[in-house]
A and B are shown apart, each in its own frame.
Chain A
Amino acid sequence: MVGKTIKKWWPLFVLPTFAAFVIGFLWPFLWGIYLSFCKFTTVQDVTFVGFSNYSKILIDKTFSHSFWLTVAFAFVSSILINVCAFAIALALTKGYKGTNAFRTVFFMPNLIGGIVLGYIWQTLLNGLLSMWGQPLLALSARNGFIGMLILLMWQQIGYMMIIYVAGLNNVSPDLIEAAKIDGATSRQILFKIKIPMIMPSVTICTFLTLTNGFKMFDQNLSLTGGDPGKQSQLLALNIYDTFYARSGPQWKGIGQAKAVVFFILVVAIALVQLKATSSKEVQQ
């Protein structure tokens, strides 16, 4: 009944959001797919070239490098962040003194923007590296990669920890009590009860960390800027670089084609991951 009454009110309830959605997402998205098959420098001189942008990606060495770097980065960062966040969440649900203060501190970096985070860690890490006589972030791709990992961990562990704490607090104490009476060890309680019971939290946290790892841009731009010689460039930065930092008529189309490949990769990974982890969730 409510549905019937409000149905004709769509110009007020849905139209504003939908119009903005078309302007801010749908139209640029579809146009972007079209432009990936075109050669253009401005939107006025577009010529259709078919799949040639896509075939040019294959020759671009910087793309394949940043592709594999991003895949490695997303998976490694996702695992590290989830393991650390879960460990801290376990510690914070044991009722130790000062739990609230710890939670406050761990979450805080999450509120700081990526650009600023990058500069904070650049200062700290370059200081450490020069103290140890190691090449600075901008001079060593390996150090840049590790630097980005540390930065992302610092930023996201707090967020994931909050989600895990909420999940762990929802595990019924009766269940743990019952297991204890049956003589389960604390290790068994962890692996056979707590972890299976919080699988929904694991699903969402892996989803968030994986997609954030793939999409990381700001932190990459400010921490290493892709140096040395595009060696620490993740995909998002590589696409940005192709669009705005290279001169020549062909690059914008190639950049757009790269963006389409990137988009397909992120969606595919997200779908596979959601399917894989949500199948392990227990019905409560």
Chain B
Amino acid sequence: MANKKKSIIPTIILTVICILWLYPILLILLNSLKVESAITTSGVFSFPTAETWNGISNFIASVTQMDFLKSFWYSLVISVMSVVLILICCSMSAWYIVRVNGKLSKAFYYLCVFSMVVPFQMVMFTLAKTADTLKLNNPYNICIIYLGFGAGLAVFMFTGFVKGIPMEIEEAALIDGCSPFKVYTQVLIPILKPTIISTAILELMWVWNDYLLPTLVLDIKKYRTIPMAVQYFRGSFGHVQMGPMMASIMIDIIPIIIVYLVCQKYIIEGVVAGAVKG
């Protein structure tokens, strides 16, 4: 910009704020490398020294005690299956809602918008019971519940986008003899691609970090997603082992940060797109 000199001071101020912003995570990282006795309430700020250095043994303890790989697998299965299902089903429904535009499809659209505002506590008890009755209480079927509860946001975002697509392209494809399903896969999906990415990111952020829904629906003794495992770890033992606890937090954060740094552009664009549609 025109005044280069002036911009040094704000850059320094912003850098300081950024370091403060990252500090909580750095603090956990430092403590996850210390021995148990060095992680006391008042001793959390001390750097690990030669005596208090514990290497990665906290991480090993936490991975084995928490059964981390299993939790990671469940979290991955649930998130990926749910998000894929949401994207396919909701983009189809949104297309139908916009193009058919009858009373029923409008009613369904408004119900979806309404469901976004309703707090989860309103349905948690009855939803868990419904899931038990319909045998949706395992990590492979729970995606149907996520489709139902996540449909609101996805249908809302997709309809907002489909409204802006001119109908002529689809008409031309239909006249040329494409079946509606083929029009959806060959014409609509390529046009929808940016919205699909944005919606995928918003839904993924929600499902991956969701704690209460899987806790109530799944059997905690058999299946634990990562947030459930962290909470279980903290709550189940009489005396909490702080070292492995810190390590388990780091294990939860590290994959998220890696994915974030790789897909940063899409994540931020996804958030903006979600907000503009909202």
A residues with a Cβ closer than 8 A to B are 1-3, 5-7, 9-10, 12-14, 16-18, 20-29, 31-32, 35, 43, 91-92, 94-98, 101-116, 119-121, 123-124, 126-127, 130-131, 136, 154, 159, 162-163, 166, 201, 204-205, 207-208, 211, 214-215, 217-218, 221-222, 235-236, 239-240, 243, 252, 255-256, 259-260, 262-263, 266-267, 270
Contact = CB atoms under 8 A, between A and B. Distances in A.
A263 B145 contact: no
11 contacts: A1-B174, A6-B100, A23-B145, A43-B129, A113-B252, A119-B245, A120-B27, A162-B275, A217-B120, A217-B121, A218-B227
Given A23-B130, A24-B144, A111 B260 contact: yes
Interface of B: 1, 7-8, 10-11, 14-15, 18, 21-25, 27-28, 31, 41-45, 89-90, 92-93, 95-97, 99-102, 105, 108, 111-112, 115, 117-127, 129-130, 134, 136, 144-149, 151-152, 155, 167, 170-171, 174, 180-181, 184, 205, 208-212, 226-227, 230-231, 234, 245-246, 249, 252-253, 256-257, 260-261, 264, 267-268, 271-272, 275-276, 278
A107 B268 CA distance: 8
Nearest to A256: B125
Question: Which of A115, A154, A204, A218 neighbours the largest number of chain B CB atoms within 10 Å of its CB?
Answer: A115
Contacts of A154: 21, 24
Question: Which of A24, A101, A211 neighbours the largest number of chain B CB atoms within 10 Å of its CB?
Answer: A24
Given A111-B205, A114-B211, A166 B275 contact: yes
A284 to B, nearest CB: 13
Contact of B96 (A14, A201, A215): A14
A96 B118 contact: no
Main SS at interface, chain A: helix
Given A21-B111, A124-B44, A127-B41, A108 B257 contact: yes
B123 A29 contact: yes
Question: Which of B126, B181, B184 neighbours the largest number of chain A CB atoms within 10 Å of its CB?
Answer: B126
A97 B51 CA distance: 41
A229 B25 CA distance: 29
Given A3-B100, A119-B245, A20 B148 contact: yes
A115 B227 CA distance: 6
Nearest to A35: B126
B126 A32 contact: yes
A113 B210 CA distance: 7
A283 to B, nearest CB: 17
Given A20-B89, A28-B126, 20 more contacts: A5-B174, A9-B96, A16-B92, A21-B115, A24-B149, A25-B118, A43-B129, A98-B15, A104-B261, A107-B271, A116-B252, A119-B249, A127-B42, A166-B276, A215-B119, A217-B211, A218-B211, A218-B212, A259-B119, A259-B122
Nearest to A166: B272
The 4 A-B pairs at the shortest CB distance, nearest first, are namely A24-B148, A113-B209, A28-B126, A28-B123
Given A24-B127, A121-B24, A127-B44, A217 B275 contact: no
A24 B147 contact: yes
Contact of B180 (A9, A26, A114): A9
Question: Which of B171, B211, B275 neighbours the largest number of chain A CB atoms within 10 Å of its CB?
Answer: B275
A267 B246 contact: no
A159 B260 CA distance: 14
B16 to A, nearest CB: 11
Contacts of B145: 20, 23-24
Contacts of A243: 124-125
Given A96-B10, A215-B119, A124 B129 contact: no
Contacts of A2: 99, 167, 170-171, 174
Contact of A262 (B45, B121, B253): B121
A153 B146 CA distance: 27
Contacts of B147: 16-17, 20-21, 24
Contacts of A12: 92, 181
Contacts of B212: 217-218, 240
A13 to B, nearest CB: 4
B24 A120 contact: yes
A96 B4 CA distance: 9
A105 B180 contact: no
A84 B28 CA distance: 25
Given A2-B170, A25-B151, A97-B7, A116 B253 contact: yes
Contacts of B245: 119
A126 B8 CA distance: 35
Contact of B22 (A9, A24, A105): A105
A162 B234 contact: no
